[in-house]
Structure 1
């Protein structure tokens, strides 16, 4: 097997640059009030508005309404909501293909556990 070290170095350098941009983005978000839990970053907005308006505000921040996929994430979010004493929109919508079904905005089916 032959590996072109020059190409390998270039690919590593490009990946490093991409990761540095992601790190800078997370730092900027944390500095402006976002909170980190596990591998996700959350913004708890106090802005009032409709669900659709909230989606648009998320897009402006290059983000989405939350999709709660794990029990520990749900516990964390419940704790934050109680602590903040405020209500928040989440990324849940009706599944038009399935009666009484709901989907997260990321397309995953919502389940109860």
Structure 2
């Protein structure tokens, strides 16, 4: 009986076959990891953690982030109705404080939302519900803003003015 001889082509095809199997296994693992539910537990990181945090201080259906709880509505209401709803939940319409919070909101959903910013005729300025002034460094408004309207936030960090009586989704914010 003659000894088993391996031709170079058989050796090359065997190596390539093994490499294909390893590559396939790696792709399957990566695919499974990318489709798993993201962790909502706070994780230490050097930069800002943009993941929602499961916090026992927040009510059911609210999302915790940086000592605040957020309610992102799927329900449509006017600006005034949204403000009243938030007040009934011991909160107020969203007031964005800093760039981290703005980035966090950008990752939440892809709709337009009422926020707690409206034009105060008495002070001739855009003010938050708590009476504080709008930070010009954090926001830029379109040139044509109708002071009769209220401000809507969209996830791409854009602010639009819409008639306050229009029904939109809204975001409530509650300090923990």
Q: Please report the TM-score for the alignment, with normalisation by the length of structure 2.
A: 0.43
Higher normalized strand content (fraction of residues): 2
Structure 1 residue 85 and structure 2 residue 113: aligned?
A: no
**Structure 1 segments unaligned to the other structure (5+ residues):** 1-22
Which of 87, 102, 122 is the aligned partner of 1:59? Answer: 87
1:93, 1:104 within 8 Å by CA — same for their partners in 2?
A: yes
Q: Please report the TM-score for the alignment, with normalisation by the length of structure 1.
A: 0.65
1:46, 1:86 within 8 Å by CA — same for their partners in 2?
A: no
Q: Give deviations 1:26-58, integer Å, cap 9, x for gaps.
A: 24x1xx111111111100011101000001111
Report what 1:104 is aligned to: 128
After superposing on structure 2, the runs of 4+ consecutive aligned residues of structure 1 that deviate more than 6 Å are none
Higher normalized helix content (fraction of residues): 1
Aligned residues: 83
RMSD: 1.8
Structure with more contact order per residue of length (Cα contacts < 8 Å, sep ≥ 6):
2
